[in-house]
Amino acid sequence: MPAPALVLGATGFVGQEVTRQLAVRATPVTAHVRPDSRALAEWQTKLTAVGATVDTTAWETGAMTAMIETLAPAQIYICIGTTRARGKADAVAGDIYEAIDYGLTKIAVDAAAASGVRPRIVYLSSLGANASSSSAYIRARGKAEDAVRGAGLPWIIARPAIITGDRGETRIGERTAAIVGDGLLAVVGLVGARGLRNRYRSTTPDVLAAALIRLGEDPGHDLVADGDALR
C-alpha cells in the first residue's frame, strides 16, 4: 500500500484535485479543512466521497505537530492560498496574503519539522515568487518558499503560471490573460523560444495535480519545478 499523504488547502482549486488523484491511486490521503470553515459539513461530504479522510485540526503549531506525528505522512502537499474576495468574506484583517499564503504555510512547515516524521514538503507556489517583491501576493509566496527551504526537510517547490478552469467563481480577467498569453507564447515558440513558451504557458488543476504527485513521490528533492516539469 502507498505511504500516507496529507493535503493542506484541500478545499482549494488545486488541493481538491490533488486529494482526488491521490485517493484514486489508493494512497491513504488526509484532507485538511479548517475547523471554522463556513462550509465544513459540505467539504466533509465532498472529500469523504472521493475517498479521503477529513481532518479539522486548528491552525496552531502544536496542534498541527501532533496531527502530523499521528498521521506520519510521507508527503505533505501544501496547496494553501486565498484571494482578496475570499479574504474579505472570511474577515481576514490586514495583508491577507501575509496571513494566509505565508502565515499558514509557516505554521505547516514548522509543525512538520517539529514532528520528527520528516515528510517531504510539496509546496504549490507561483511563478515569480520573491520575498522582496513589491507585490503583496508575490512577496508572500517568496516568504513561504523561504520557510519551506529553511525547515530542514526534503522539499519540492512548484511554480506554475496561470491555472485555469472552473473555480466556482468569476475570474474573467484570469481566463482572458491565459488565452491571450498562450496565443502570444505559441508565436514565441514558433520563432524558437520554446523554453520561454513552456515556462509561462497556462495549465489546469488536473495536469498540475498529477505533476505535484509525481514530484512528491520521485526520489529527487530540494528543487524548484516550473514549465515542462509541471506537465
Domain ranges of the chain: 5-160+204-230, 166-202
- Which triple of cell numbers denotes residue 19? 486529494
DSSP-assigned letter for residue 74:
S
Q: Which CATH superfamily is domain 5-160+204-230 in?
A: NAD(P)-binding Rossmann-like Domain (3.40.50.720)
Q: Which residues contact 228 (CB under 8 A, 6 or more apart)?
A: 198
**How buried is 75 (Cβ within 10 angstroms: 0-12 exposed, 13-18 middle, 19+ buried)?**
buried
- Which triple of cell numbers denotes residue 216? 512528491
Residue 54 sits at φ, ψ, to 5 deg, of -95, 130
> pLDDT tens-digit profile of 167-218?
454 444 444 334 334 443 344 444 455 554 566 788 999 999 999 999 999 9
DSSP-assigned letter for residue 149:
H
Predicted local distance difference test score (pLDDT) of residue 82 = 82
- Angle of CA points 15, 19, 24, to nearest 5°: 145
Predicted local distance difference test score (pLDDT) of residue 183 = 40
Residue 21 sits at φ, ψ, to 5 deg, of -65, -35
- Angle of CA points 191, 195, 197, to nearest 5°: 65
d(CA 3, CA 1): 7
- Sign of the CA dihedral with 210 first, then 211, 216, and 219 last: positive
- Tell me the helices (H) and strands (E) count for the chain, helix number first: 10, 7
Predicted local distance difference test score (pLDDT) of residue 28 = 98
Predicted local distance difference test score (pLDDT) of residue 199 = 61
Report which secondary-structure segment, H or E, holds 167: none
> pLDDT tens-digit profile of 13-68?
999 999 999 999 999 999 999 999 989 999 999 999 999 999 999 999 999 999 99
CB 196 within 8 A of CB 126: no
Is the overall model pTM greater than 0.75, yes or no?
yes
> pLDDT tens-digit profile of 91-118?
676 789 999 999 999 999 999 999 999 9
Q: Report which of residues 195 and 231 the model is more confident about.
A: 231
Strand runs labelled E in the chain:
5-8, 29-32, 53-55, 75-78, 120-124, 155-158, 223-225
